[in-house]
Amino acid sequence: MKKLGIVSAMLLSATLTFGQALPEKLQGSFNGRVYFDGSAFFKDKTHLGSGATISDIRLGVSGKYEKFVGKIDIGFAKKTVSLKDVFIEYDFKKNSYVRLGHFAEPFGLDYMESSGNIRFINAGCVTEAFAPGRKLGLEYIGWSKNFWYAGGIFGDTHFDQKLDYKGNDGYAFTGRFVYNPFKKEGQILHVGVAATFRTPDANKDGSASRSITYGANVGSMVNSTKFVNAVVTDANNSVKVAGELIGALGHFSLQSEYFYAQVDRKDNLEKYKAWGAYGQVGFIAIGSGYEYATSWARLELPKPGTLEFAVRYSCLDLNNSDSAIYGGEQQQLTLGCNYYWKKFIRLRLNYNYVHLDKHALNGKEDFNFLSARVQVFFN
């Protein structure tokens, strides 16, 4: 709590000073958000606890000077201080830029997007298992009339989690390519592919054997237990590929991704293979049709006053008989209701049904739960 207070005070002081003494060509702004969450579990064999929490608190500043853009975004969730988006960017043109810092890799639609803009309270078990999220790296992004493309080099894991590790850091090459021939309101078609090649970080003790872990929870901010989890030992490197589809027709939208992961292992051990896929459909009951964000190659956030319903089915399989690694299989159905009340306030309600196989943490079981979230933004 002491660290949280110190960092908050420093950020607030810097923001006030920044806002009072901006050079003529320098533009700056302060931003923040807070998420209030609650979950209620039903028919859970493992007796998961229902409850409420503040799942996320963010404070940040951003600025722009000529062709340079900078951002610092700090999270304060669960009594810890963590770096989110921290980068400097140079805009070559209105449709291309290079970015250096800590930010989301171009792999996994919902992990590239802000958590406040996705269609459900969480990104889903498949995305959580395979998308790398934010890493320290250097990236180039560009787009044209019908194409979007990105590529970069990144660290393999979150740099602030391994400051005292021995041995060399891992690295990753990640890229994404999108073809989007239709981008009008209510008439959207987007097909994309993404891939990443990664070497794992050293273990904390510096031993030669390195491991890669794939896992996911059920999407409740109140309980973060990973019911499916595969630890792949003696890993040399891994390759992950993904295919993505986005479409919209009038007030209906579609989003789907398929992920495949393969780990090459030492000493001629069998390769580990895993996969996952999800599909979701959205319907705007009150409001205008879906729109497309060309610069990010994904759907725009609906306008204030919009009422939206959505359904998502996810299947994640971390079992691989060839390598004798059984991380479990998770299938999940999620029903969502979103009300974009004001520009800075969003209300979300999710129902989840979860099925786990015999290789999951506590064996085969089925349970369901309700989750609700109030999102408040300041910017």
Tens digits of per-residue pLDDT, 144-169? Answer: 999 999 999 998 665 555 556 666 78
Q: How far is 216 from 225, CA to CA, in rounded Å?
A: 8
304-352 pLDDT per residue, tens: 999 999 999 999 999 999 999 999 999 999 999 999 999 999 999 999 9
Query: What local confidence, expressed as pLDDT, does residue 164 receive?
Result: 61
Burial state string for 152-189 with b = 16 or more CB within 10 A and e = fewer than 16: bebbbbbeeebeeeeeeebbbebbbbbebeebeebebb
Average per-residue pLDDT for the chain? 90
229 token code pair: 């989890």
Q: Which of 39-43, 53-57, 83-87, 157-161 has the lowest mean pLDDT?
A: 157-161
Rounded to 5 degrees, φ, ψ at 129 are: -70, -35
69: pLDDT strictly greater than 90: yes
Burial state string for 277-293 with b = 16 or more CB within 10 A and e = fewer than 16: bbebbbebeeeebbbbe
DSSP 26-65: EEEEEEEEEEEEEEEEES-TT-PPPEEEEEEEEEEEEEEE
357: pLDDT strictly greater than 60: yes
Which CATH number does the domain 25-378 belong to among 2.60.120.380, 3.40.50.150, 1.10.1200.10, 2.40.160.10? 2.40.160.10
Q: Are 85 and 134 in contact (CB under 8 A)?
A: yes
Q: How far is 250 from 246, CA to CA, in rounded Å?
A: 13
Report domain extents, the chain: 25-378
Query: What local confidence, expressed as pLDDT, does residue 205 receive?
Result: 66
287: pLDDT strictly greater than 70: yes
Q: Are 306 and 287 in contact (CB under 8 A)?
A: yes
Mean pLDDT value of segment 217-239: 93
Q: Are 79 and 66 in contact (CB under 8 A)?
A: no
83 token code pair: 């770096």
